[in-house]
Amino acid sequence: MGIEYYLPEGSILTTTLEKLVGWGRKNSVWPCTFGLACCAIEMMATSLSHYDIARFGSEVFRPSPRQSDLMIVAGTLTKKMSPMVKRIYEQISDPKWVIAMGACASCGGVFQSYAVVQGVDQVIPVDVYLPGCPPRPEGLLAALMKIQEKAGKERFRDRPDIITEKDIDKYCKERNIKIAG
Amino acid sequence: MAKAKDIIKLIQKKHKKAIIEAEEFRGDPVVKVKKEKLIEVCEYLIKEKKLAYNLLVDVTAVDFLPYKRTPRFDVVYILVSIDNEHRLILKTEVDEGEKVPSVYHLWKSANFPERETYDMFGIEFEGHPDLRRLLMWPGYEYHPLRKDFPTKGYDFDEKWDPETIKENVIQY
Amino acid sequence: MAAERKWKLHFGPHHPSTHGVLRIELELEGEKVVKATPIIGQLHRGIEKIAEDFTFHQAIPLTDRLDYTAASLNNLGYVLAVEKLLGIEVPKRAQYLRVIISELSRIMGHHLWIGSAALDLGAMTVVFYAFADREIIMECIEAASGGRLTPTYMRIGGVAKDVDEKFIEKVKYFVDMFPEKIDGYETLLTDNIIWRQRNEDLAVISYDEAINLGLTGAVGRASGVNYDVRKAFPYSSYEDFDFEVPVGTKGDAFDRYMCRMEEFRQSTRIIKQAIENLPDGPVMADIPFLNPPQEKVRTDIDALIRRFKFVLEGFHAPKGEVYQSVEGSKGELGFYLYSDGGSKPYRCKIKSPCYIHVSALPEMIEGYMISDIITAIGGLDIVLGEIDR
């Protein structure tokens, strides 16, 4: 039943195309599993029975970056792991968003040492920073809702339409991405 | 559980010349032997029935650079006997540039700890089947746990670019 | 018979079944593993080097992040090592509270193991039930200390603060309702023909090999090595409690599973005995150079001066070296401390059980097929935070 029962027959809804596409994208954000350390356990707890993330639209956590929209970097990023993060980020297709979950991913956290990258935003662009060590599952749901807000308001012009090789070069140069070949 | 003093007496009876110092601290025996007699002492510790140290728990090292001591490093072996339920901390001294005999052929659990000691301190173990860096990437120039290496490293304030180590990390 | 082609496969750091960032380089012949090389270090944060800059008290939160699935056990190991170095005694109530929190953490760690090991093989029901039970335990620990995953409840000389009636109620509720849940997990997995076929006769390690490779904990006990640190070198009044240690015979993955299922029951037994016989008294040792309790600091000038000195400079430990270990949820977790008379640990080495288990991985999986690697890793129960430190 639901809302369709109460609408009169022959209803017409007028809205802009951007709002419609934004509504579709924000209610089905599928995360990519990128759990590195302790925050990954709280991410798992968010996705399971007690705090259910599926009711927000993130039905499954896809292991493959080709099939996901959102990358939750949960845990400390070390220098040895940084090429892998960059590669996985480049493999996610547009539109894509990044949450830096926890203190270690936002700014290095407790670990100011020779082997830790002080914040994941030195390597990839971040949309939402979530503090905590580890943040509670309710915190991760709040960050997800902020991403949904941002995804609903996006305009088509914000993500460029790549047509020629010159456009690819310009896109990569702006975001500091290097591709082989 | 035998008392620590009895354990020290047993080792002193057989290998008096190899021991540099031996004492008991908080109930556990701590014995320091010369580097050349290390393998002999270890074989005796395994075979003797009253000691029977068949489980090697850890291998590590301590750096004494601020105290300007030669030899610079202390290599520490922690041993446990499962049947007799007692422990032993066995140490030996080595200077920078010298090599220590590896105990891999006696206890296979020395595989990763000896590699990590090489990675973190630069101490080489002779006879180890596969001595290369474990926790840092191949091609890293420093040995991080030495006392003259700062905790934050040498490039803490610069932006980190993963392209610099991408080729090194892919090999192993 | 045609020869199978040899080829290489990266079992990379970004994988849903490696329980963290573990990388394995495989050389395969068809579907069979010929050579496997585990590569670790993707989560190396330099905890041992950072601990050399902090005082003994400031380094306690760093140890929480080692084995993050069962965090209080790491705290206990470090704090016991420092107390052994100083030579101080802990009051009885604090010891019993430490036992209760440690055993609750151990059960939490085993819940994560059974959830993810079953999820990797496709049995998705178990993880939902396991994490629901885990939330109940996290509520108990939050009532005591305030933190869910990283509580940092232990202090040098005792525990951080005393518990109230709510905590005791919650723990009693948990102890009463948990044995049925264990029966539930056993119904789902133990007599399940698919689970048995995938786990039996896999990654067999004999008794002598297990001691030589240094395997402890449930992995070693499945091969017959009867070594449990709580019985061999008792600490924190474990000798007051009556519990058994399960030991296996064959040394395959199914024996490791059965050992851990039995450990669920024995831990519940210990918690029941501890919460029923909880003695009264202080929760912190009354020693001059340690942190004085909060109420005294506001009223007594002497306690205020001691608090200042404790926070700014720390206490000076005697010169010497100690090694103290606890029975972690994965195996023997040990801390080696070398002190030169200062207020900071001159060298703190952390011996983690999963580090040794991963070094034994090539012996376990060579000769088996690719899908058996996942089962073997799931049965080993590894946590990368502990391996790489």
This model of the complex carries an ipTM of 0.94
C56, C342 Cβ separation under 8 angstroms: no
Inform me whether the pLDDT recorded for C1 exceeds 80: no
User: Across chain B, which distance is largest between two alpha carbons, in Å?
Assistant: 60
- Whole-angstrom CA distances from C259 to A125, B94, C113, C242, C250 are 46, 42, 13, 18, 12
Which domains are seen in chain A, by residue range?
18-175 (3.40.50.12280)
Condensed to tens digits (0 to 9), the pLDDT of residues C8-50 reads: 998 888 888 768 889 999 999 988 999 999 999 999 999 999 9
Within 10 angstroms of residue A163's Cβ, the number of other Cβ atoms is 8
Q: Taking CB atoms and an 8 Å limit, are A37 and C131 in contact across chains?
A: no
Q: Taking CB atoms and an 8 Å limit, are B137 and C41 in contact across chains?
A: yes
Query: Is B168 in CB contact (< 8 Å) with chain C?
Result: no
* Residue C296 Cα, gap to closest chain A Cα (Å): 30
Q: Pick B166's closest partner by Cβ from A83, A112, A115.
A: A83
Q: Taking CB atoms and an 8 Å limit, are C131 and A50 in contact across chains?
A: yes
Condensed to tens digits (0 to 9), the pLDDT of residues C168-177 reads: 999 999 999 9
Q: Determine the residue of chain C that is closest to A110 in CA distance.
A: C62
pLDDT confidence band for A1 (50 / 70 / 90): low
Question: How confident is the model at residue B50, as a pLDDT?
Answer: 86
DSSP C369: B
For residues C317-340, average pLDDT: 93
Q: Which residues contact C179 (CB under 8 A, 6 or more apart)?
A: C265, C268
* Residue B128 Cα, gap to closest chain C Cα (Å): 14
Q: Determine the residue of chain A that is closest to B150 in CA distance.
A: A114
For residues C254-269, average pLDDT: 93
DSSP-based three-state secondary structure for B55 = strand
C105, C138 Cβ separation under 8 angstroms: no
pLDDT confidence band for A161 (50 / 70 / 90): low
Question: How confident is the model at residue C93, as a pLDDT?
Answer: 93
Condensed to tens digits (0 to 9), the pLDDT of residues B34-81 reads: 999 999 999 999 998 888 899 999 999 999 999 988 889 999 999 999
DSSP-based three-state secondary structure for B130 = coil
Tokens of C103: 């055993």
Q: Which residues in B lie closer than 8 A to residue C25 (C-beta atoms)?
A: 172
Condensed to tens digits (0 to 9), the pLDDT of residues B78-126 reads: 999 998 888 999 999 999 889 999 999 999 999 999 999 999 999 999 9
Would you call A175 exposed, middle or buried from its count of C-beta atoms within 10 A (0-12, 13-18, 19+)?
exposed
What angle in degrees, to the nearest 10, is found between the helix axes of A137-152 and A39-47? 70
Within 10 angstroms of residue C173's Cβ, the number of other Cβ atoms is 13
pLDDT confidence band for C242 (50 / 70 / 90): very high
Question: How confident is the model at residue C86, as a pLDDT?
Answer: 92
Between CA B50 and CA B9 the distance in angstroms is 12
Inform me whether the pLDDT recorded for A180 exceeds 90: no
The whole-chain average pLDDT of chain C stands at: 91
Question: How confident is the model at residue C295, as a pLDDT?
Answer: 76
Amino acid present at C339: S
Q: Pick A36's closest partner by Cβ from C43, C47, C61.
A: C43
Residue whose C-alpha is closest to residue C77's, from C332, C289, C266, C283: C332
Which residues face C323 on adjacent strands? C336
Q: Give the angle C326-C332-C338 at the CA atoms, nearest 5°.
A: 70
Inform me whether the pLDDT recorded for A160 exceeds 70: no
Q: Taking CB atoms and an 8 Å limit, are A82 and B160 in contact across chains?
A: yes
**Subunits touching A (CB < 8 Å, at least 3 pairs)?**
B, C
Share of chain C above pLDDT 90, in %: 71
Between CA C187 and CA C181 the distance in angstroms is 10
CB contacts < 8 A, A to B, total 45
* Residue A133 Cα, gap to closest chain C Cα (Å): 8
Tokens of B86: 């007692």
Domain containing residue B26: CATH number: 3.30.460.80
**C-alpha dihedral (B14, B15, B17, B20), degrees to nearest 10:** -130
Inform me whether the pLDDT recorded for A154 exceeds 90: no
Which domains are seen in chain C, by residue range?
47-356 (1.10.645.10)
Inform me whether the pLDDT recorded for A4 exceeds 60: yes
Question: How confident is the model at residue C96, as a pLDDT?
Answer: 94
Q: Pick A114's closest partner by Cβ from C42, C46, C150.
A: C46
For chain B, what is the domain count? Answer: 1
Question: How confident is the model at residue C3, as a pLDDT?
Answer: 64
The whole-chain average pLDDT of chain B stands at: 90
Q: Taking CB atoms and an 8 Å limit, are A113 and C149 in contact across chains?
A: no
Condensed to tens digits (0 to 9), the pLDDT of residues A24-70 reads: 999 999 999 788 999 999 999 999 988 999 999 888 888 889 999 99
C13, C31 Cβ separation under 8 angstroms: no
For residues C204-217, average pLDDT: 92
Domain extent at residue B101: 4-170
Q: Pick C49's closest partner by Cβ from B112, B113, B144.
A: B144
